[in-house]
Amino acid sequence: MKKYVFLFLSILSAVSVCACNGEPEDKPAVSDNKWLIISPSAKSLYLGDEYIVSPTYSSDEARELEYVWTVSDPEAVAIVENNNSSVVIRGEKTGNSIVKVECPGETKRLSATLAVTVLDLPPEEPEPVRILAIGNSFSQDAVEQYLWNLFDNADIEVIIGNMYIGGCSLEKHWTNAQNNSASYDYRKVVNGTRTNTKNVSIEKALNDENWDYISFQQASDYSGMYEKYEPYLGNLIGYVLEKATNPRLQLMFHQTWAYSKDSGHQAFPNYGKDQMLMYEGIVDASRQSMNNHPEITLLIPSGTAIQNGRTSSIGDEWDKDGYHLNTEYGRFAAACTWYETISGNNVLENSWKPSSVSDSEALIARTAAHNAVLKPYEITDLSDL
């Protein structure tokens, strides 16, 4: 599509009229009453820009004379349309060129010039990556604290949202969606600043940003029990795809983590108070979620990342209360898993870490996350770390 920049001329100044021998003279005698000017006398264009050069003529008689238009560097500036008394030029290559108009048949020859500079296209401002979690306190652990910092360290602008209700299950999310219930805390991280807006519905959050990634997760009570996932996960997927605004949206499933071995969580008996039994159930449920819903294109294996970390010298100490991740390397490991899954960048090459996390703890957290992304359904032994 052509882009025209119109030239409006209102100031008649800097008149230059040349005689036939090419020597500059003053403005011709009033009896001739023929002159023209191009104002402004210089113009910058970006590559591909088109510009109408339309001089101001002293009279209709002067306008109707025959004119010749030339450019000093036709590779930089091309004349794409010639209407005799005006032309359309286009920036073809970076550089400079002089556009000249002249009426060689006049005894008192009319002429004027325009200096044109062609610039390279300005760099496009990249759009931020927009991530929304439809979750609970386990998504709070994963995305609200350190995920923004990891993206920022990689020079990737990111906007992070978390639809939070503590302990919220897929069934409850679906009920809220059906009723358009404004019952969520909508936590949002923009430019590193976290805000919280209360009483927000899923639909309102979906319309707040043109989200690139939206995640689902099950409440930890049922995270290893796939029979508790359906039909709610499938219904939520349909709802989000209908309401979301980005045609390139990617859906994700957040595989959460098993409780600590000595957890006192009320739902731990669902898994026989056995951490490995719970982890294996989570792995099976997340695998079935991915297999049964091809609309979900990314799995975020935080559960495997934490289980990997438990094989390291840190041992089982990744939580603060038996189920929520500790605010240091626990949350950092989950954020690393989200970062690598979404960005595609190896988190081992990202140098950022929380100040409260030691170098050795950060290495274990990054390694646990990296191996989880590579092998989301099996534990990687990190006992050498």
Q: What is the CATH number of the domain that holds 298?
A: 3.40.50.1110
Q: Tokens 């350190």 — which residue?
A: 146
| 381 domain residue, yes or no | no
Q: Out of 55-59, 186-190, 360-364, pick the least confident.
A: 55-59
114 and 247: one domain?
A: no
| 47 domain residue, yes or no | yes
Last residue of a domain, one of 64, 84, 119: 119
Query: Is-contact 89 53, C-beta < 8 A?
Result: yes
Mean pLDDT, rounded, for 26-34: 46
Q: Backbone phi, then psi, for 78, in 5-degree steps?
A: -110, 145
**346 half-sphere exposure, CB direction, 13 A CA radius:** 5
Residue 356, pLDDT above cutoff 50: yes
* pLDDT score of 31: 36
**311 half-sphere exposure, CB direction, 13 A CA radius:** 17
Specify the pTM.
0.71
* pLDDT score of 33: 65
**Amino acid identity for residue 87 in this structure:** V
Residue 108, pLDDT above cutoff 90: no
Alpha carbon distance 338, 356 (integer Å): 20
104 and 140: one domain?
A: no
Please report which confidence band the pLDDT of residue 186 belongs to, taking 50, 70 and 90 as the band edges.
Answer: very high
| 385 domain residue, yes or no | no
Q: What angle do CA 226, 229, 232 make, to 5 degrees?
A: 160
88 and 197: one domain?
A: no
222 and 94: one domain?
A: no
| 237 domain residue, yes or no | yes
Is 79 buried (19+), middle (13-18) or exposed (0-12) by CB count in 10 A? Answer: middle
59 and 145: one domain?
A: no
Last residue of a domain, one of 119, 142, 171: 119
Mean pLDDT, rounded, for 88-106: 92
Residue 32, pLDDT above cutoff 60: no
Residue 18, pLDDT above cutoff 70: no
| 264 domain residue, yes or no | yes
Alpha carbon distance 102, 114 (integer Å): 12
Alpha carbon distance 97, 49 (integer Å): 15
* pLDDT score of 19: 32
Please report which confidence band the pLDDT of residue 122 belongs to, taking 50, 70 and 90 as the band edges.
Answer: confident
| 382 domain residue, yes or no | no
Residue 148, pLDDT above cutoff 90: yes
112 and 145: one domain?
A: no
Query: Is-contact 140 162, C-beta < 8 A?
Result: yes
- Whole domain around residue 58: which residue ranges? 4-119
Mean pLDDT, rounded, for 320-332: 98
* pLDDT score of 139: 98
* pLDDT score of 35: 85
* pLDDT score of 1: 39
As a whole-number percent, the residues of the chain with pLDDT over 70 amount to: 90
Give 36-49 as a 3 state SS string: EECCCCEEEEECCC
Alpha carbon distance 39, 7 (integer Å): 8
Query: Is-contact 186 163, C-beta < 8 A?
Result: yes
282 and 209: one domain?
A: yes
Task: Map residue 19 onto helix, strand or coil.
Answer: coil
171 and 49: one domain?
A: no
| Number of structural domains the chain divides into | 2
Query: Is-contact 37 9, C-beta < 8 A?
Result: yes
Residue 13, pLDDT above cutoff 90: no
The alpha carbon dihedral of 322, 328, 329, 332 has a sign of positive
| 232 domain residue, yes or no | yes
Task: Map residue 184 onto helix, strand or coil.
Answer: strand
User: Which stretches of the chain are DSSP H helices?
Assistant: 60-63, 137-143, 147-153, 170-179, 202-208, 232-243, 275-292, 302-309, 329-343, 359-374
Residue 361, pLDDT above cutoff 80: yes
* pLDDT score of 180: 98
Last residue of a domain, one of 87, 119, 151: 119
Please report which confidence band the pLDDT of residue 24 belongs to, taking 50, 70 and 90 as the band edges.
Answer: very low
191 and 296: one domain?
A: yes
82 and 215: one domain?
A: no
Choose among 219, 124, 210: nearest CA to 175. 219
* pLDDT score of 39: 86
| 274 domain residue, yes or no | yes
* pLDDT score of 354: 98
198 and 107: one domain?
A: no
Task: Specify the CATH number for the domain of residue 20.
Answer: 2.60.40.1080
Residue 15, pLDDT above cutoff 50: no
Q: pLDDT tens digits for 71-84? A: 999 999 999 999 99
Please report which confidence band the pLDDT of residue 62 belongs to, taking 50, 70 and 90 as the band edges.
Answer: confident
39 and 151: one domain?
A: no
Alpha carbon distance 367, 370 (integer Å): 5
Mean pLDDT, rounded, for 289-300: 97
**Amino acid identity for residue 182 in this structure:** A
Residue 26, pLDDT above cutoff 60: no
Query: Is-contact 80 34, C-beta < 8 A?
Result: no
Choose among 325, 311, 253: nearest CA to 285. 253
Mean pLDDT, rounded, for 27-48: 74
Mean pLDDT, rounded, for 163-170: 98
Report whether the peptide linkage leading into residue 269 is cis, meaning its omega lies within 30 degrees of zero. no
Does residue 152 come out as left (phi exceeding 0), alpha (psi in the -120 to 50 range) or beta? Answer: alpha
Is 129 buried (19+), middle (13-18) or exposed (0-12) by CB count in 10 A? Answer: middle
